[in-house]
Amino acid sequence: MIVVTGATGHIGSELVRLLSEKNVSVRALTRDPRRARPMRGVEWIKGDLSDADSLAGLLRGADRMFLLTSNSEDMVALQVNAIRAAREARVTHVVKGSALGASDHSKSPIGKAHYEVEMALQESGIAWTILRPHVFMQNFLDIAPTIVREGRIRAASGDGKIPFVDARDIAAVAAIALTAPGHEGKWYVLTGPEALSYGDVARIIGKAVGRPVEYVAESLEEARERLVRAGAPPWMIESTLALAAYQRAGGPTAEISKTIKEVLGRPPRNLTRFVQDYTSVFRGR
């Protein structure tokens, strides 16, 4: 039995699908069961990681757990609740979805939060695997309405090169780590096969949809003003700007990892394929 948290997100939903195809028993946790899709071997459960007292029952009988939540100000508390409940339920292995650059000195509040959870997991006594992916390609689906409406992508990353990674590949690595031996005690950096600037991304999407898409390279201050106007919370603003600053500087944020190919036995999806798979979304259909 594998418990999957965040089971209706970009990674979680694909992970649940892959585990179902493997005939693995899955207990999929979501705060909104209306978003659940019936699948073989999958038990959908309404669960809230903020309700620590309820987690023991949700994890009872589970052998392994995939741990991921959406980014939030209370992410550390939520995920630590899950780790403590997993230890009490005698879960033997936790695979945690983290982030590239998670560290105690990250300038990103999200990066620091992931690091704190990583430390809590390592100190729990449970076998662990940590996935540190780069920026998700699926983030472009989240801003697709703006791309359709305005024909623009805005970011403060300058000409920085980023090896965007498809969340479906992250889920595939998680599925292997949860079901095959030999992945315990490992950190996996997950990237796509090529490092691209946001200008490159705009050109690839524009070619797929048959009309120009412009990259608007904002300054860090312009990006801050836009995020403030949009009502983004301070922790999200600081995380977004910190990541953009790292990307502008280049170096480690542009490095390509071979982990996905090594674990899956195939190369990761590139952005051109990703956009082709979701062309209708970028056309607003």
Q: What is the mean pLDDT of residues 171-181?
A: 97
pLDDT digits (tens, 9 = 90+) for 160-169: 999 999 999 9
C-alpha–C-alpha distance, residues 275 and 74, integer Å: 33
pLDDT digits (tens, 9 = 90+) for 61-92: 999 999 999 999 999 999 999 999 999 999 99
Residue 149: pLDDT over 90: yes
- pLDDT value at residue 201: 98
Mind listing the domains of the chain with CATH numbers?
2-134+166-191+255-268 (3.40.50.720)
For the record, the structure tokens of 23 come out as: 């005939």
Q: What is the mean pLDDT of residues 40-49?
A: 92
- pLDDT value at residue 54: 87
